[in-house]
Structure 1
Amino acid sequence: MQSLASFTMRGRSQATLVAAASAMLSLIVPLVGLISSAVIALVTLRKGAEEGLVVGAFAGFAGGLLAFAALGSPWPAVGFVLILWLPVWVLGLVLRQARSLTLTVQVAALFGLLVVAGIRLLAADPAADWMELLEPVRRSLVESSVIDAAVSEQLVARAARWMTGAFAATFYLQLLLALFMGRWWQALLYNPGGFGAEFRALRVRSGVAYPALGLAVVVLLLDEAMWATELLLLLAPLFFLQGVAIVHSLVHTYSTHRGWLIGFYGLLLLATPYAEILVAGFGFLDSWVDLRTRVAARKKG
């Protein structure tokens, strides 16, 4: 990754090439799209807003030509520019100016809020639209005898109610992953270890935790308050990231073998979504009790 980041920072043409090529490759391997967005983040963080915009524009044009040649339409490249690169550019600019990863993470949640608002404006009944989109999946599972037809209808109906918030949360979490990758690249090249220290210090303040607590109460008391559910889902990734930061901080404080981190991420994959909920719970608790400071003080004592 360091060699790729180094190649990207050699000049505008190299950054454009990496961003455009990885964006097109993501049509085959979706996760490669994070690299294209990370390039925009890295250039913006290191060289400023103007250079980030220029690289994004050039990469969008180059990607449009590639998409037109391969698919007969430039729209996939336009989608990358407007939906992924532009928000990441904004986040990179916020982080560059404010030098606060916590503030930037919270700003990212606003993009999720825009997604929820957009879906609400465009769809009269978002849950019904999600059920329609999920119907082919439900039918294939029933035909494969994976799940009973009656049970599948209940599960899809329940999932459809959560999909708007979950989709918005996943969207801005993807933006943050790209930003983190760009910040990590910047640290590898110019400030070794800097991103690790920055991420371990990530802590969402109680000013965000209190609204989350209020939304949780509303969700428990009012089953039909979907707006509260969607907003709570938007805030959940903030506390999940904070919980992950706590784990990294504990491993660093006690100089534990990195194998613990590998096991931790493996658990997140194997025990989805229960492990994520538990980690987010620790992050939520940390907003009040500051677990890392208490652990550090106990270790010194």
Structure 2
Amino acid sequence: MKPLANFIMRGYSPATLVATVAGLLSLLIPFVGLISSAAVGLVTLRQGARPGMLLLGTSTLASGLIAWLALGSPLIGLGLLLVLWVPIWGLAIILRSTRALNLTVQLAALGGIVVVLVVRLIVNDPESYWRELIEPLRQSLLNDGLVEAEASEVLFARLTQWMTGAFATALVLQYLASLFLARSWQARLYNPGGFGAEFRALRVGSPVGWLFVLVLAWGLVAQGLALDLIPILGLLLFLQGLAVIHHLHELRKVHQGWLVALYVLLVFFMPQMVLLLISLGLIDLWADIRARVEQRVSGTGKS
């Protein structure tokens, strides 16, 4: 990835090329959008808001022109601007000006909460809206004999209750992943090891933990909006849990294979691992696992 970051920082033309091509490819391969957003984030983090805005303009014009020539409509360029580039540009400005990853992550989550509220204001009945969208999928599964009618009704009814929050959480996760990628590129080019130390120190704050517990209790009783907020707050605790693991890995000088194994387990046993890391992040908010282990390690070294 370092050669790609070097290429992006050569000037506006290479940066525009990467942001535009990756942005258009994301219409076919969604994960490629991370590279497009990260290119905008890297330029903004390194050079500031105005150069980042200039990159937004050139990339929008380039993608709009390509979309107009290929599809007859330049609106795809505007869509990429609003969905992929403006949010990461804003987060990069915040991180550059404050140098506080904690605050930036919290504000990203706040943006997710705003998305939830906007969806609920625009759509009178979000559950019915999501039900209409995913009903063809249920029918397809029924026709293929993969699920039973009654079981699928219960399953998809439960899914619709979580879809608004899951949608907002997915957006927040995408933007944070792009921001982290851009920050890691910046560190590799100009401050080796800087992003690792920054991420290992990530703390989302004890108020997030208390709010998560309260919303979780609220969701068990009333559901509705609470179920939309649980995934967003859970994402913050999940990231803190990951930060704890990386911090302990660095303190104990454990083999890199342990981290690889963690991410492999996260892929194949995602629900269980996500809950485990959320729990670890929640515990760390009050028990400060990292400080305790650091004291123990330093104490052992002194002896």
Same-fold status (TM-score > 0.5): yes
Offset of 1:253 from its aligned partner? 0.9
Structure 1, unpaired ranges of 5+: none
- Give the alignment's TM-score, normalised by structure 1: 0.97
Q: Which structure 2 residues correspond to residues 231-270 of structure 1 after superposition, within 5 A?
A: 231-270=229-268
**Hey, what's the Cα distance between the residues in 2 that align with 1:289 and 1:295?**
11
Q: Which structure 2 residues correspond to residues 1-301 of structure 1 after superposition, within 5 A?
A: 1-220=1-220, 222=221, 224-301=222-299
**Hey, what's the Cα distance between the residues in 2 that align with 1:137 and 1:299?**
52
**Hey, what's the Cα distance between the residues in 2 that align with 1:263 and 1:225?**
35
Deviations 1:57-110 (A, max 9, x none): 110110111122222222222111112211111100010011011110001012
How high is the sequence identity, in percent, across the aligned residues?
Answer: 48
Q: Do the aligned partners of 1:42 and 1:183 also contact (CA within 8 Å) in 2? A: yes
Q: Do the aligned partners of 1:18 and 1:39 also contact (CA within 8 Å) in 2? A: yes
RMSD of Structure 2 on Structure 1 (CA): 1.0
Instruction: Give the paired residue count.
Output: 299
Query: Which amino acid in structure 2 is aligned with residue 11 of structure 1?
Result: G
Q: Do the aligned partners of 2:33 and 2:84 also contact (CA within 8 Å) in 1? A: no
Deviations 1:188-231 (A, max 9, x none): 100011001100110111122111111111122x1x33111212
**Hey, what's the Cα distance between the residues in 2 that align with 1:75 and 1:274?**
41
Offset of 1:55 from its aligned partner? 0.3
DSSP-derived class of the 2:210 partner: helix
Q: Do the aligned partners of 2:36 and 2:84 also contact (CA within 8 Å) in 1? A: no
Offset of 1:298 from its aligned partner? 1.2
Deviations 1:164-187 (A, max 9, x none): 011101111100000000000000
